[in-house]
Structure 1
Amino acid sequence: MSPTPPPPAFGLTRRERILDELHRSGSVRVSDLARDLGVAELTVRRDIGALADQGLLTRVHGGATLRSALDTSIPQRRAAGPPKYRVGMIVPSLSYYWPQIILGARAAASATGVQLVLRGASYAVDDQRRQIASLLDGESLHGLIVAAETSGPEGATLLQWLDDIPLPVVLVERHAPSALGLTRVEWVTSDHVVGGTLAARHLAERGHRRVGLLTSPGSPTSAPLRKGWKRAVRELGLVATVDSSAALDTLAGAGREAEIDRILDECRRTGTTALTIHSDPQAVLFQQHARDRGWNLPADLAIVAYDDEVAESAEPPITALRPPKQQVGRLAVETMAARLADGRRRPVQRTYLLPELRRRESTAR
C-alpha cells in the first residue's frame, strides 16, 4: 500500500493557522475555526485529527487543546533524561477557572524539562502561606509558581515575603502593586483591566448607552475588571447606572432570587439596557432568572459575561470575555524555566495577556 500523499499547500497553511491559534489562546473550537478559515467543520476535524496523530495537540469534544502531559494516545516527545528542574505550583482552586491554567502549565513543563509539584490552596492568605511553606520545607525545589493573594496588608506582606525568599517566584494570574517596589518577583497574568474596557466598548458598539456592572465579591478579578470598565464607560460617554457586587452562585434559592430581582428592578428603574457580569455562573443564573421573570433577552437586557467557562452553554449563549487561561499557565512555566536557565543576568519579566471577546446571541442587535 502506497503512503498517503501529503496534504496540498493550502491544507498545510490551514493546519499551521490552527496551531498558531492554539498557541495563542490555548484551545480552539471546531465551529470557530471553520468560520474563520471558511471551510466545513468536517475539514477542520480532519485537520485536528491529523495534528493529534502527530502529537501536536490533544483532541477534546468540539475542538482541541495544547498537548496535555496526560495525553497518552501517542508517545510524548520528551527531553532526554530526568527533568532539569522541580517547581512548586500553588493555586487557590482545583475546579473553576484554574484547571485550564494547570493544563497549560503541564504542557509547558513537559516541553521544558520541568517537573511540577502541584498544590491546591484557597483564597485565604494564611492558607496560601502555609501551603507555600510546606512545599519549601518538604520538597527540593528550584522555583515557585504561585497564585498569591495581593490585596490588603496581608497580601502585601505575603508578596514581600515571596520577593525575599531565595528561590525564583513567578505569580500566575496575579500581579503585585507597583507601590511595593518588588524587584525579583515575576508574573504572567491576564489583563483584566483591558477586559473590562473591551466589555464596555462592545456594548457601546451595540448601541447601549445606559449600562451596569455586577461582579463577584472577594474575587481578585473584580477590582481590575471594574477599573477598566468604569474608565471605558467614562471615556465612551456612557452612563453607569448599576454597580453591584453579589455572590449569586453561593446564595440559597430564595436569597438568590431576591438579589436578582433587586438588580432587575434597578435596571428597569434606571433604563439600563446592558450588564457586564463577572463571573460566568453569575451571568448564567442572572440570565435564566430574568427570562423566568418575563424579560425578553437580549431585547430588554443584553449581557456580557467574564471568564467564558460556561457562558456558551446558556440560553441564549452569552457573549463573554475569555482570559487566555492555558496560555497564562504555559507562559508562567516558560518564564520560570528561562529564569532558572539564565539566572540573575536575565531581566525581570512581567507579562500581561489580553482577554478575547467571544460574541454571541446575548448581545445581538
Structure 2
Amino acid sequence: MTDLSDEDPAPLFALQRQERLMDELRAHGAVAVGRIAVVLGVSELTIRRDINALARRGLVTRVHGGATIRSSIDESRGALTGRDATVTKYTIGMVVPSLDYYWPEVVSGARVQAAQLQSRLMLRGSLYDARDNRKQVQVLVNTSGMHGLIVAPHTAGPEGLEMLRWLDSLPIPVVLAERRVRSAAAATRLESVVTDHAAGAMQAVRHLYAAGHRRIGLLTEPQSPTTPHVRRGWKRAIASLGLTPDVVNTDAVSFDSFDRETVIDEILAQCTSTGTTALLILSDPQAVAFEQHCADRGVRIPDDIAIVAYDDEVARLGHPAITAVRPPKQFVGRGAVDLLVARLEGGRNRPPHHIKLTPELLVRESSM
C-alpha cells in the first residue's frame, strides 16, 4: 500500500493551487513562497511541494524562496526545444543599489523577461553613491559582448546630474530603472521605467479620506529617492481634497536610528497637537517601527491613528497587518528589459521611451 502521509490529501485542490501558481507566474514572472502561501491560505511547505511538482513537469524554474517562469537557460531538465532553444541574442548588464530590499523583485522581473527574450542578465550590486555606481557600470561596459545596461543610479545633486550625462554618452544603450531623467541633464538617449510614486501616495491619501480621516500626515525617509515623489503626491491629494497641510509632515523617522523611540514619541505628540488621525509612512520598516511603538505606548491602530505603508515589503507582517502601497517592482524590471531589447532591435531611429507604472493599494487592518 502506498504511503500518502507526505503527499497532499486532496489532488484536486493541489491542481487548483498549481493553476493559481501558474496564473501568478504568468502575471508577475515570479512568485515568493511566503507571499503566495498567505494568498492561498496554505503552508509554505505545501507551496514548495507544488513548485517542485511544477518544476518536475518543466513548467517553472525553482529559485531561492520561490519560482520563476521556466527559463530558456534552465538546464535542470535538459535542453529546451523550438523557440526557447535559440542561442542568447543579447547580454544585458544591470546595476542596482541594494540586493536585500525592494530591488530583488525588480531584478527577478528583469531576469525572467531577459530569459523570455533569449537574453542573458549580468547583475552587479552598488551603493547609493554616484562614484560606486560609475565604477560598477564601467565594469559592465568593459565586459566583452555587453549590448546594453539597466541602471538605478544616484541622480540627485550635481553628482547625479553628471552621472546622467555620462550614462547618456556611453556607447551602448542605457535604461534607467526607478530613476527619472532630469531635464537639466539634456540627455537624448536615456530611457526609463519608473513607478508613479506620486500616484501611489495619492491613492493612499484618498483611501484614508474615504475611511473618514480629514487630517492625514506624512512620514518619509530623508535619503530615499522615492521621498520627493511620495511627498509630491501627498501634497496634491491634500490640496485636491481640500484638506489642511497643517498636520504631521516629517522625514525624521528611521527604523534603525538609535533615538527611534524618542523621535516616534515626538511624532505622536505632534499627532495629538495637530489632530492628525492618519499617516502615510515611507517605507515598510518605518511603518512597522511606528506600529510597534504605538503598541508599547497604548496607542491603538487603527482606532487612535490609522497608517498606510509605502513599499509593501513586510507590511503584511505587522500586527495589525498594515495597509500598503505596492509598487509594481516585477514589472519595472520586465519593462526595463523590454525597452532595452526594443532599442537594440530598433536602433537609434527608435525614439527614447519613458514609462510610468501605477502602483497598487492593498487594504489591510491598519486603516480599516
Give the aligned partner of residue 270 of structure 1: 274
Pairing partner for 2:251 from 245, 252, 255:
245
Q: Please tell me whether residue 134 in structure 1 is matched to residue 134 in structure 2.
A: no
> Residues 55-95 of structure 1, C-alpha deviation per residue, up to 9 Å, x if partnerless?
45567999865557897775685733432111111100111
CA 1:23 to 1:180, structure 2 compared with 1: closer, same or farther past 3 Å? Answer: farther
Query: Helix, strand or coil: the match of 1:133?
Result: helix
Tell me the TM-score normalised to structure 2 length. 0.84
Give the aligned partner of residue 219 of structure 1: 224
Give the aligned partner of residue 238 of structure 2: 233
> Residues 87-136 of structure 1, C-alpha deviation per residue, up to 9 Å, x if partnerless?
11110011111111111111111111211111111001111112112222
Superposed counterparts of 1:293-304, under 5 Å: 293-304=297-308
C-alpha distance in 2, partners of 1:138/1:339?
Answer: 20
CA 1:157 to 1:343, structure 2 compared with 1: closer, same or farther past 3 Å? Answer: same
Kept after mapping to 2: 8 A contact 1:249/1:281: yes
Kept after mapping to 1: 8 A contact 2:165/2:186: no
Tell me the TM-score normalised to structure 1 length. 0.84
Give the stretch that moved more between structures: 258-267 or 44-53: 44-53
Q: Please tell me whether residue 177 in structure 1 is matched to residue 182 in structure 2.
A: yes
Amino acid at match of 2:192: W
Amino acid at match of 1:341: E
Give the aligned partner of residue 357 of structure 1: 361
Pairing partner for 2:215 from 195, 210, 219:
210
Query: Helix, strand or coil: the match of 2:248?
Result: strand
Give the stretch that moved more between structures: 156-165 or 59-68: 59-68
Kept after mapping to 1: 8 A contact 2:285/2:314: yes
Please list every run of 5 or more consecutive structure 2 residues that lacks an aligned counterpart in the other structure: 1-11
1:356 Cα deviation (Å)?
Answer: 0.6
1:350 Cα deviation (Å)?
Answer: 1.5
Amino acid at match of 1:239: T
How many aligned residue pairs are there?
347
C-alpha distance in 1, partners of 2:140/2:65?
Answer: 37
Pairing partner for 1:256 from 255, 260, 278:
260
1:347 Cα deviation (Å)?
Answer: 2.7
Kept after mapping to 2: 8 A contact 1:30/1:62: no
Give the RMSD, CA atoms, in angstroms.
3.1
1:214 Cα deviation (Å)?
Answer: 0.5
Please list every run of 5 or more consecutive structure 1 residues that lacks an aligned counterpart in the other structure: 1-7
Amino acid at match of 1:175: R
Kept after mapping to 2: 8 A contact 1:92/1:147: yes
1:25 Cα deviation (Å)?
Answer: 4.5
CA 1:65 to 1:84, structure 2 compared with 1: closer, same or farther past 3 Å? Answer: closer
C-alpha distance in 2, partners of 1:291/1:197?
Answer: 27
C-alpha distance in 2, partners of 1:150/1:317?
Answer: 34
